[in-house]
Structures are given as C-alpha cells and as structure tokens.
C-alpha cells in the first residue's frame, strides 16, 4: 500500500510543480503583473510637416521594459493584451504616461500634437474616452492636441466604430485610421466613417519608386484620401526619394527613420527643439535627414 501511496503523492507534487511553473510562465499573467507594476514607458516618434520640415507632432509608442532589462516589442504584447482584455488597463496606463511625459511641452506649445494608438477593443468599449478627457482636462492641454489612431481591424463592426469616432471627435480629438491598406475594411466602410485623417501604412511607402506590385496602389490611396478630404500621414519614410514623392503628391505629414526613430520623452523634446530652431533653412531643405 505504501508504494502506490508514495507514487500518488509524488504524482500530485509533480503536478503542482508543473501547474505552478505554467502559471509563472503564462504570458498573460506576466503581462497582467507588468501592467500592475507599470513596467511600460512610451517612446515618441517625430511627425514632420513636409511643407517646412518642422516637427509638429509625435506618435506615442509603448515599450515594455522587463525587470531583467529585456525590452519587448509592442507587436508581441499588444495582440496578447487585445486577446485577453488587458488592453483596457494598458491603454489607461498609456494615457497616464503620455500626459505625464508631455503635458508641460503641450501647454507651452499649442501647435504640438501627440498621437496615441487606440485598439479595436478600446473603441468598442468606449472606456478610453472618459479616461482621456479627464486626463486632458486635469492637465490643462487642449483636446485637439491629442490625436487618435485606430487600426482598420477596429472598424470591422462599423456602427460601433462610427459612434466611437464621433464621440472622440466631439470631445475635440482628431481621429486617423492607422495602417491603411493592410486591414480588412472595405472602401465603402471607410467612406461611411467620420474620420479626419488616414495613415498610409509603411508597406505602401516602402513600395514607392520600386517595381513592387504595391507601388501601383500608393498613388491611388493618396488620391482617395484627398477625395475623401482626409489628411494624410505617411509612415515608415526611410529615404529622401520617398519623401520627395510624398511631398509632390501633396501628402502633408510624414514620420519614419529618415527623420528619427521613436525616442524617449526627453530626447524627443531635444530633437524637436533642434529641428524647429533651424528657422528659414528648413523650408528650403525640408528633406534633410537627421
Ligand atoms: P503603428 O501604429 O503602425 O506604428 C508604427 C510602427 O512602425 C512602430 O513600430 C514604429 O517604430 C515603426 N516605424 C516607424 N518608422 C519606421 C520606418 O521608417 N521604418 C520601419 N521599418 N518601421 C518604422 P512599433 O513601435 O514596434 O509598434 C508596432 C505597433 O504596435 C504599432 O504600429 C501599433 O499598432 C502598436 N502599438 C504601439 N504602441 C501602442 C499603444 O500604445 N497602443 C496600441 N493599441 N497599440 C500600440
Ligand atoms: Mg499608429
Ligand atoms: Mg501605423
Ligand atoms: Mg503600420
């Protein structure tokens, strides 16, 4: 009797050990703990006015810095957060960090804007908007200084997306559709949404001046955005050739490694100051990379 008893106990013990280690390794648990411990910082990628080369905005991009010093890319943790419902507290944290980082700069310069990414889940629940409005009101910045980027996946349920976008615009924010051309939304859906701006995905920028099949599509996206009276922001601009093309096509705003990668808040402030202090030079040589 002793032998099977011992076997049973050890089996149970091994089971518990495996269960505990699985719990510890579950990415969802890890993410939840990381949010509670606020292991996230926001980096800011400059957005450039192509007509004069000035930095007029930045896109806020979340970075997860683990206690062991490893950085985890948003491509990995954002989808996990979306699938597990953790995106809501993560978006709250994003809003808090952005206001904390940028309120002073935004108050000092009403011409500066920060663009934040809002997930489909956030749009659906609508919970981010009162959180954002409250943070904006308390910090004394203008609602129009915060832009909202929503990915096309967020627009699959058209009526929900439309009412969320309307509410955000009524609160004073500019709303852009992100990664345009890569999602599932139809053109008719896009036409029906009350958007202000469209971000051309970097895959279409990358195709400019190449013989890739997508290069045929890029001018049509730009034409369509103009036709719909949407402001255009090009993302992933890496070369002067791409920049020249976009400027000639009437695209007003661009971001990409040609100008800068996403920077910690203090470095972004310095970048912007340096760039905008260049004065009259910048209007004649807006394409200068940094
Ligand atoms: P996105 O919103 O399309 O952001 C642009 C991504 O392109 C960023 O990647 C940026 O670092 C990268 N990028 C910028 N310029 C260039 C360039 O010239 N060349 C290339 N190859 N890449 C460039 P990142 O920071 O890894 O973010 C990935 C995605 O994660 C974002 O794509 C966005 O969808 C999502 N994300 C990031 N932060 C947040 C957030 O706070 N909330 C939500 N919901 N999603 C976020
Ligand atoms: Mg974005
Ligand atoms: Mg994008
Ligand atoms: Mg993109």
- Please name the residue whose Cα sits nearest to atom 3 of ligand 1: 179
> Nearest-CA neighbor of 197 among 150, 234, 235, 230?
230
Tokens of 107: 């108050």
Find the mean pLDDT for residues 47-68: 96
DSSP 114-183: EEEEE-HHHHHH-THHHHHHHHHHHHT--GGGEEEEEEGGGGSSHHHHHHHHHHHHHTT-EEEEEEETSS
In this predicted structure, what is the pLDDT of residue 15?
81
Give the Å distance between the CA of 248 and the centre of ligand 1: 25
155-169, 216-230, 274-288: range with lowest mean pLDDT: 274-288
Find the mean pLDDT for residues 91-101: 98
Question: Pick the residue with more confidence: 53 or 210?
Answer: 53
Ligand 1: which residues within 6 Å by Cβ? 45, 61-62, 73-75, 78, 94, 117, 119, 149, 151, 178-179, 202, 235-238, 255-257, 262
Give the Å distance between the CA of 115 and the centre of ligand 3: 11
Global confidence as pTM: 0.89
* pLDDT above 70 as % of the chain: 90
Confidence of residue 6 (pLDDT cuts 50, 70, 90): confident
Q: How far apart, in whole angstroms, are the C-alpha atoms of residue 49 and residue 164?
A: 28
In this predicted structure, what is the pLDDT of residue 186?
64
Q: Is the pLDDT of residue 21 over 70?
A: no
> Nearest-CA neighbor of 182 among 161, 143, 155, 146?
155
Q: Is the pLDDT of residue 283 over 50?
A: no
Half-sphere exposure in the Cβ direction for 230 (13 Å, CA): 26
Model confidence over 191-224: pLDDT tens digits? 778 999 999 999 999 999 888 888 888 999 999 9
Residue 148 · residue 114 · CB < 8 Å: no
Give the Å distance between the CA of 179 and the centre of ligand 2: 7
Q: How far apart, in whole angstroms, are the C-alpha atoms of residue 154 and residue 84?
A: 16
Q: How far apart, in whole angstroms, are the C-alpha atoms of residue 117 and residue 246?
A: 23
Find the mean pLDDT for residues 122-151: 95
In this predicted structure, what is the pLDDT of residue 279?
65
Q: Is the pLDDT of residue 93 over 90?
A: yes
Q: How far apart, in whole angstroms, are the C-alpha atoms of residue 122 and residue 134?
A: 16
Q: Which residue has the tokens 């960090």?
A: 97
Q: b/e string for 183-208 if b means 16 or more Cβ within 10 A?
A: bebeeeebeebebbbbbbbbbbbbbb
Give the Å distance between the CA of 54 and the centre of ligand 1: 21
Substitution candidate for ligand 1 out of 35, 78, 115 with most atoms within 8 A of CB: 78
Model confidence over 243-260: pLDDT tens digits? 999 999 999 999 999 999
State which residues have CB under 5 angstroms from ligand 4, the bound ion. 179, 201
The interface pTM score, or ipTM, of the predicted complex is 0.97
The mean of the pLDDT values for the chain is 90
- Cα-based torsion angle of the residue sequence 241, 244, 250, 252 in order, rounded to the nearest 10 degrees: 100
In this predicted structure, what is the pLDDT of residue 24?
63
């Amino acid at each position: 009797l002793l032998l099977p008893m011992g076997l049973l106990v050890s089996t149970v013990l091994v089971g518990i050990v495996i269960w505990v280690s699985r719990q510890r390794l579950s990415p969802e648990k890890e993410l939840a703990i990381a949010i509670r411990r606020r292991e996230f910082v926001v980096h800011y990628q400059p957005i450039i006015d192509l007509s004069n080369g000035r930095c007029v905005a930045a896109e806020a991009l979340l970075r997860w810095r683990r206690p062991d010093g490893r950085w985890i890319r948003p491509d990995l943790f954002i989808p996990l957060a979306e699938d597990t419902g953790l995106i809501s507290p993560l978006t709250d944290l994003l809003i808090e960090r952005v206001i904390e980082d940028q309120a002073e700069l935004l108050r000092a310069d009403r011409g500066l804007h920060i663009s934040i990414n809002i997930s489909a889940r956030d749009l659906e629940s609508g919970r981010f908007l009162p959180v954002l409005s409250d943070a904006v009101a308390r910090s004394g910045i203008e609602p129009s200084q915060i832009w909202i980027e929503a990915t096309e996946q967020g627009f699959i349920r058209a009526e929900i997306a439309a009412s969320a976008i309307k509410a955000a615009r009524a609160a004073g924010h500019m709303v852009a559709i992100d990664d345009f051309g890569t999602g599932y939304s139809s053109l008719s859906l896009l036409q029906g949404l009350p958007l202000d701006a469209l971000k051309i995905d970097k895959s279409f920028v990358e195709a400019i001046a190449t013989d890739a099949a997508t290069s045929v599509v890029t001018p049509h996206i730009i034409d369509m955005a103009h036709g719909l009276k949407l402001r255009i922001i090009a993302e992933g601009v890496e070369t002067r050739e791409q920049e020249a093309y976009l400027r000639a096509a009437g695209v007003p705003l661009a971001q990409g490694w040609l100008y800068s990668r996403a920077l910690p808040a203090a470095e972004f402030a310095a970048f912007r100051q340096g760039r905008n202090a260049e004065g009259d030079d910048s209007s004649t040589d807006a394409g200068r990379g940094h």
